[in-house]
Every structure is written in structure tokens, then in C-alpha cells.
Structure 1
Amino acid sequence: MDWTLEVIVLPVADVERSIAFYRDQLGFTLDHDTQTPQMRVVQLTPRGSGCSIVLGMSQMKPGSMNGLQLVVSDADAARAELLSRGVEVSELSIFDAERDGGTFFFFDDPDGNSWAVQEMKIRADKPLIPRA
């Protein structure tokens, strides 16, 4: 039996601002935005990912999530894409040039939740989630 990670709740101060950042600047897909009298559930998913984020105003302090990580097959291209969409990102950091998975860059969302983007070239040929 597989046990898959489905959702990570991301604490934010302003849901609308966060939707705009994750959907429009990062290119995440807005899966749903459902509101009831008691709560609002906003779920977004990175392209090619089996795990989503849910934006929440909860007991967790906005900006308190650190170490969230995305994996791409080309860090240079991903970094250039985010820069073109107005996202402030770090320079590339190469920790091990000889090993796949050793190149990273970093950014924060508007609340200060921190993300790393790791290059793993193998994902271009062997994605974790098979492409349709």
C-alpha cells in the first residue's frame, strides 16, 4: 500500500495575496477555492506534483514554514521563469557540481514562508508522477 503526502497547510496572513503569488507568479494550479460560513479552503498544486498546498489562516504564525522544497529538472530555467514573473529569488547555489541534486536556489512567499528549488536532472526523464 502506498502512503502519499497529499497536502501541506501553509500559514498565510492574506489569502487573496497568496493566491495571486502562488497562482500568478509561481504558476501553481488553483485546484479549488471553497468557502463555507465556517471556513475557506484554497488548494493549489505545483505543475507535475502529487502534493498540494492549502492556504490557511490558522493557529500557525504566517511565514513560519521553512524548508519547503520543489524539485525541477533545470534550475537555471526555473529561476529565469520565476524572475520573469517578478519573484525575488537567490542566485544559484551549487553544493556538489558532480552529483545530480546539488544545485539549488531559494525564495520566500509574501508572508516569509521559505522555499528551496532543487535541480534533479533525472526528473526530466523519470518523473515521480507519470505524465499523461
Structure 2
Amino acid sequence: MTATWKIELIPVPVTDVDRAKAFYERIGFSADIDSQVHEGLRFVQFTPPGSACSIALGVGITDKTPGTQEIQVVVPDAHDARKHLLAAGVEASEVDAQPWGNFVHFRDPDGNKWSLQAIASRPNG
């Protein structure tokens, strides 16, 4: 039997936790938890709409340099996703049509890169 593996959490390095928290709330991510575990650890978790995987930001979460994380997610419609981002005041790329899907790119306030991909179907279903 093959085990099921599901990605649970991706750390996102940020310089200002509260600024990042406001950004992700503004684009519609669900704020799951904001906990000051101890002086060197603040854990803030967000889940994108409809996602089973969350992101974590805060203090003491990752040693990565802010602005170096890249995350790609699948959305139903790249054009709608772009409109949503623009309405939330987020700078987003034009829709980039590729044979394997339509893409929209944006960055959070620290420069972490997000790619939104709309695909008709996956080869493996």
C-alpha cells in the first residue's frame, strides 16, 4: 500500500510579522492561529482559500532570508485570481498563458514570490 503524503505547512520568511499578517488577511487567507509561544517564537498560520496546506510566518519559524520563498498554488481561474488581487490592492502580473496552464504572479511585502496556476486538468487526475 502506498502511503498518502500531504503537504501541511510551508514556512514563509518575513521581516515584519504584523505587516505580513495584514497582507495575507487582505488577500483572503484564513488566519488560523497567532501564538506567542515564547520570546523567540511567534507562530502565525494562514490557510489559502480552499487549501489543505497552510503557510507559517512569525519569529523563529525559519532561517530562510525574507523574500526568498517561492510558492505555487493552483486556482480555478487565473483571470479571476488576478482581479481579486488587484481589488485587494496587490500588484499582480498579467495572465501568462502557457501550454500547461495560465499563470499570475505576485509578491508579498517581503518579496516572497507566489505563482498562481490555472490548469484544466492534471495528467494523473
The alignment's TM-score, normalised by the length of structure 2, stands at 0.87
Where in structure 2 are there 5+ consecutive unaligned residues?
Answer: none
1:106 matched residue in structure 2: 105
| CA positional deviation for 1:95 | 1.1
For residues 89-126 of structure 1, what are the alpha-carbon distances to aligned partners after superposition, in whole Å with 9 as ceiling and x for unaligned? 00010012xxxx41101001100000101012459xxx
Greater Cα shift, 85-94 or 1-10: 1-10
What is the SS of the residue equivalent to 1:59?
A: coil
Query: Who is 1:29 aligned against?
Result: 30
Partner of 1:76: 79
- Give 1:2 deviation, angstroms: 1.4
Match of 2:68 among 54, 64, 68: 64
Over aligned residue pairs, what C-alpha RMSD do you find?
1.7
Match runs of 1:83-122 below 5 Å: 83-96=86-99, 101-122=100-121
What is the match of residue 6 of structure 1? 8
Q: Matched residues in 2 for 1:78 and 1:5: separation?
A: 22
CA distance in 2, matches of 1:76, 1:64: 26
SS of 1:105 mapped into structure 2: strand
Moved over 4 A (4+): none
Distance 1:115 1:81 in 2: 14
Matches of 1:30 and 1:112 in 2, distance apart?
20
TM-score computed with the length of structure 1 as normaliser: 0.83
1:17 corresponds to: 19
8 Å CA contact 2:25–2:31 kept in 1: the answer is yes
Q: Any idea what SS the aligned residue of 2:38 has?
A: coil
- Aligned residues of 1:92 and 1:104 also touching (Cα < 8 A): yes
**Alpha-carbon distance in structure 1 between the residues aligned to 2:101 and 2:120:** 10
